[in-house]
Amino acid sequence: MKQWVVGVAVLVIGVGGNWQPDVCAAILINEVLADPADDANGDGSVHTTRDEFVELVNTEAADVSLANWTLSDALQVRHTFQADSVILSRGFFIVFGGGAPQGFSHAATASTGGLALNNAGDTVSLHDAAMLLADSLMFGSEGGHDVSLTRSPDGAGSFVQHTTVSIVAFSPGATIDGIAHLPFPELEPAPPASDSQPEPQPDPAPLPLPEPDPVQDPGPGPELPPIPLPGDDVPDLPSGPVVPEPASLILFGAGMAWLRYNGRRNEKGALGFRHPNRPGHRWGGDLHCDI
């Protein structure tokens, strides 16, 4: 069940007409016209009692049902709200003394036939469906000067005569400025993203890679002692040929003979040798020496 915050607005006449109501209630009395001099209900005729009105305001952010709520003057209940009576969020609801109100989306006429507000002074009370006092306004002779008494600003301020804050004598169903609802509170802007997120951190510096060792040129190999090559094994070669150690001597039966050492081409020539199983028979060929 929704609980209501109940407050009482009492109009107190003091020095300079400083009327200070309590405005803590959600549904408040916002404007009262006890002495009409114009057509307040919009039905085309001016009447001293039918054009009386009490305006309520909803300061809540949600619609509120007024079913079985009551309005009273100093003597008795003057109006009981019907079951389908609703006051919209930040909106108004007007109860006129009578007639046929025109141009109001949320209005009613007094269920007892009139509000009977006293121009010389009266008390208007609003009770909820549980008969708890929601708001109250007590005024004196300042209510009898053909103008309404209204909160300024609407829904929150003290009661003043309407003509002290506007060029018109009353404004049923609207704010002093003629707007059909109270201003809606502005939403607070969302904080910037930088306030809710950590600042980006720079990437860590990469670890230095070790410098590779410079490639050293080995240079020419060491001088190696010669290895004698017996002349009997290769009869066509001059006696005493040598091959450095370590090295290799490869004999081919045909092709060109190239002699390499330490990457350099040294010598080429032809080779003749004997077949071991055919004494006295030799055949020619090329020598290829890889060292």
Q: Which two tokens stand for residue 66?
A: 């007024």
The CA distance from 92 to 22, in Å, is 19
pLDDT tens digits, the chain, 291 residues: what are they? 333 333 444 443 333 333 334 334 699 999 999 999 999 999 999 999 999 999 999 999 999 999 999 999 999 999 999 999 999 999 999 999 999 999 999 999 999 999 999 999 999 999 999 999 999 999 999 999 999 999 999 999 999 999 999 999 999 999 999 999 998 887 777 777 666 667 778 888 888 887 777 777 666 766 666 655 555 454 454 455 555 555 555 555 545 544 444 444 444 444 444 445 555 544 444 444 444
What local confidence, expressed as pLDDT, does residue 29 receive?
97
Domain ranges of the chain: 15-164, 226-290
Q: Do 81 and 66 touch, CB atoms closer than 8 A? A: yes
Q: 14-30: string of b/e by CB count within 10 Å (b at 16+)?
A: eeeeebebebebbbbbb
Tell me the CA end-to-end span of the chain in Å, nearest whole number.
108
Sheet holding 27-33, edge to edge: 107-109, 92-96, 53-58, 27-33, 149-152, 158-161
Separation of alpha carbons 217 and 233, rounded Å? 38
From CA 105, how far away is CA 93, in angstroms rounded? 8
CATH number of the domain located at residue range(s) 15-164 in this protein: 2.60.40.1260
Please state, in angstroms and rounded to a whole number, the distance separating the CA atoms of residues 133 and 2. 16
d(CA 29, CA 246): 119
- The candidate with the shortest Cα–Cα distance to 129, out of 92, 81, 94, 93, is 81
Whether the Cβ atoms of residue 93 and residue 107 lie closer than 8 Å to each other: yes
Question: Do 20 and 11 form a contact (C-beta atoms < 8 A)?
Answer: no
pTM over the 0.85 mark: no
* Residue carrying structure tokens 């080995």: 218
- Torsion angles phi and psi, residue 213, rounded to 5: -65, 135
β pairing state of 289-290 and 259-261:
parallel
What residues contact 270, with CB distance under 8 A and at least 6 apart?
236, 257, 284, 285, 286, 287
